[in-house]
């Protein structure tokens, strides 16, 4: 058995023996809800009591980094083996979306790793505790097989990604030299399909904003005032309808790229979106016409209404409501000017007769769109490594359909970014019953052990450079 094979076998043996499941269960049991202010001590506990000892056991030097904008510290871990070796920055987040305990299926809890019908359930198993746990175990397996990594490893774990990564940009700017590396290798988001290893090279940007109309102080009887005073619920519905067609095509010109770049179209040509057996059925008539499903979600922009309220939905009354509100979202790709998204919306609404609609950004900052070249040597190196381990042709996505703080790594730190996800689209992340198929985690362990082994084998683009 070759040493590379030994590292992969070690990672798989950790899974088969149940040790990986025990580690993951312990981490899932820590309720790191960053959206819940009462969990602030728990966020720090996850880093200090769980993640720091794991890195230190692998010979990493660790310290907590603080930033006043962040509600919790960041854990920085590094293992420097020598000058002239390639340096890899890893990233993950230990915070999770609210558990929504009462909404999980009977017998399941967000804070207990539970196996049911061939799946592992628990909050964070997909986003992101399961994913950075895979990568950490893969590093340990390479150390066990080689006695060293053969490269310099740095790792950053944050506890506020689910609330917008407050402070991460500033922290990376303040510690730019500390975080310098040849590239970022990280794991988050889903594979293109459960059984197909995937690499993505950036992410769509995301901006959430509220649209509202405050027509008057209170409601008024619909029999006495119907037809005499405006209904903000109706007005806001028409305002939203002016932004997107009945079939989901965006109608604000500044919210659409001028074209789908040929390199992106080529990369997506063999990519078929597959959410697994429980994923929703793709509706080919929805979204930008003339694009494949993969092009619509990975190469184009999408607009969504996340919530809408007018009147009292729980107990409707016969009154014209005084106000209406909608939480909206635009996910956008490279080619869209982030600074003009909301100004363009304002101009559009005014031009279409809706000056009464107020616009408010949900957050002070947004994740912007990123995308590196699919033909970059580091990308081709990573794809070849994953193919050698899995025996499968990896899908190469120019960017994730969702959003990540990837622009911080590309723009602030100047890194190439290669993401290797260990989840799948039907995992129910952010929802009740978050889960993963265990075989996906096992394959992820093998893929990452092979990737880290190859990083230390001396035949990377760093060595060629």
Identify the burial level of 208 via C-beta atoms within 10 angstroms of its C-beta, where 0-12 means exposed, 13-18 middle and 19 or more buried.
middle
Whether residue 75 contacts residue 156, with contact meaning beta carbons closer than 8 Å, is answered with: yes
Q: Which tens digits make up the pLDDT trace of 73-96?
A: 999 999 999 999 999 999 999 999
What b/e readout covers 86-107, taking b as 16+ CB neighbours within 10 angstroms?
A: bbbbbbbbbbbbebeeeebeee
Whether residue 396 contacts residue 373, with contact meaning beta carbons closer than 8 Å, is answered with: no
Structure tokens at 428: 């129910």
Phi-psi region for residue 357, left (φ > 0), alpha (ψ -120 to 50) or beta?
beta
All structural domains of the chain: 3-203+369-464 (3.40.630.10), 205-257+301-361 (3.30.70.360)
Identify the burial level of 211 via C-beta atoms within 10 angstroms of its C-beta, where 0-12 means exposed, 13-18 middle and 19 or more buried.
buried
Structure tokens at 2: 């070759």
pLDDT at 207: 94
Whether residue 125 contacts residue 188, with contact meaning beta carbons closer than 8 Å, is answered with: no
Dihedral of the alpha carbons of 446, 149, 399, 406, in degrees to the nearest 10: 130
pLDDT at 408: 96
pLDDT at 95: 98
Give the residue from 284, 263, 261 showing the smallest Cα distance to 272: 284
Whether residue 24 contacts residue 43, with contact meaning beta carbons closer than 8 Å, is answered with: no
Identify the burial level of 113 via C-beta atoms within 10 angstroms of its C-beta, where 0-12 means exposed, 13-18 middle and 19 or more buried.
buried
Alpha carbon 361 to its chain's center: 20
Could you give the strand order of the β-sheet that contains 395-397, starting from the edge strand earlier in sequence? Answer: 61-65, 74-79, 152-158, 87-93, 183-186, 416-419, 198-200, 395-397
pLDDT at 1: 52
Of the chain, the percentage scoring pLDDT greater than 70 comes to 98
Element (H, E) at 359: strand 358-361
pLDDT at 277: 76
pLDDT at 280: 83
Structure tokens at 405: 């703080």
Whether residue 183 contacts residue 415, with contact meaning beta carbons closer than 8 Å, is answered with: yes
Neighbours of 439 (CB within 10 A): 12
Whether residue 95 contacts residue 33, with contact meaning beta carbons closer than 8 Å, is answered with: yes
Q: Which tens digits make up the pLDDT trace of 302-316?
A: 999 999 999 999 999
E-strand stretches of 66-193: 74-79, 87-93, 114-116, 119-121, 152-158, 183-186
pLDDT at 334: 95
Neighbours of 155 (CB within 10 A): 24
pLDDT at 364: 66
Neighbours of 328 (CB within 10 A): 21
pLDDT at 362: 82
Which residues of the chain carry a pLDDT beneath 70? 1-2, 364-365, 463-465
pLDDT at 276: 73
Residue with token string 């986003």: 127
Whether residue 242 contacts residue 348, with contact meaning beta carbons closer than 8 Å, is answered with: yes
pLDDT at 279: 75
């Amino acid at each position: 058995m070759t040493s590379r094979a030994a590292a992969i076998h070690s990672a798989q043996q950790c899974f088969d023996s149940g040790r990986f499941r025990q580690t993951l269960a312990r981490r899932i049991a820590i309720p790191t809800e960053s959206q819940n202010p009462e969990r602030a001590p728990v966020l720090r506990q996850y880093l200090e009591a769980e993640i720091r000892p794991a890195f230190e056991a692998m010979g990493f030097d660790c310290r907590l980094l603080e930033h006043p904008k962040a509600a919790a510290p960041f854990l920085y871990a590094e293992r420097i083996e020598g000058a002239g070796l390639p340096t890899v920055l890893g990233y993950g987040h230990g915070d999770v979306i609210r558990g929504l305990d009462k909404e999980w299926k009977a017998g399941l809890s967000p804070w207990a790793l539970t196996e049911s019908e061939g799946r592992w359930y628990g909050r964070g198993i997909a986003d992101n505790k399961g994913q950075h746990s895979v990568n950490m175990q893969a590093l340990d397996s390479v150390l066990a097989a080689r006695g060293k990594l053969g490269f310099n490893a740095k790792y950053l774990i944050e506890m506020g990604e689910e609330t917008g990564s407050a402070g991460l940009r500033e922290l990376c700017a303040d510690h730019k030299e500390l975080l310098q590396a040849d590239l970022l290798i990280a794991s988050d988001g889903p594979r293109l399909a459960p059984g197909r290893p995937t690499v993505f090279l950036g992410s769509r940007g995301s901006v959430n904003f509220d649209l509202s109309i405050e027509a008057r102080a209170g409601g008024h009887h619909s029999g006495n005032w119907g037809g005499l005073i405006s209904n903000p619920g109706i007005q806001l519905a028409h305002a939203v309808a002016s932004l997107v067609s009945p079939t989901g095509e965006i109608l604000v010109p500044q919210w659409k790229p001028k074209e789908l770049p040929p390199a992106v179209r080529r990369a997506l040509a063999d990519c078929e979106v597959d959410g697994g057996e429980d994923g929703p059925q793709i509706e080919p008539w929805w979204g930008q016409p003339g694009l494949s499903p993969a092009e619509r979600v990975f190469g184009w922009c999408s607009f969504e209404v996340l919530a809408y309220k007018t009147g009292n939905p729980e107990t409707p009354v016969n009154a014209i409501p005084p106000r209406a509100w909608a939480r909206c979202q635009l996910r956008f790709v490279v080619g869209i000017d982030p600074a003009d998204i909301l100004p363009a919306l304002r101009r559009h609404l005014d031009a279409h007769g809706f000056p009464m609609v107020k616009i408010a950004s949900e957050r002070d900052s947004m994740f912007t769109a990123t995308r590196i070249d699919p033909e970059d040597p580091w990308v081709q190196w990573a794809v070849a490594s994953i193919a050698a381990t899995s025996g499968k042709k990896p899908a190469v996505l120019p960017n994730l359909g969702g959003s990540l703080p990837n622009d911080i790594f590309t723009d602030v730190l100047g890194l190439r970014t290669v993401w290797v996800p260990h989840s799948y689209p039907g995992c129910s992340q952010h929802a009740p019953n978050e889960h993963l198929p265990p075989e996906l985690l096992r394959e992820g362990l093998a893929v990452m052990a092979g990737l880290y082994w190859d990083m230390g084998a001396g035949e990377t683009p760093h060595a060629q450079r």
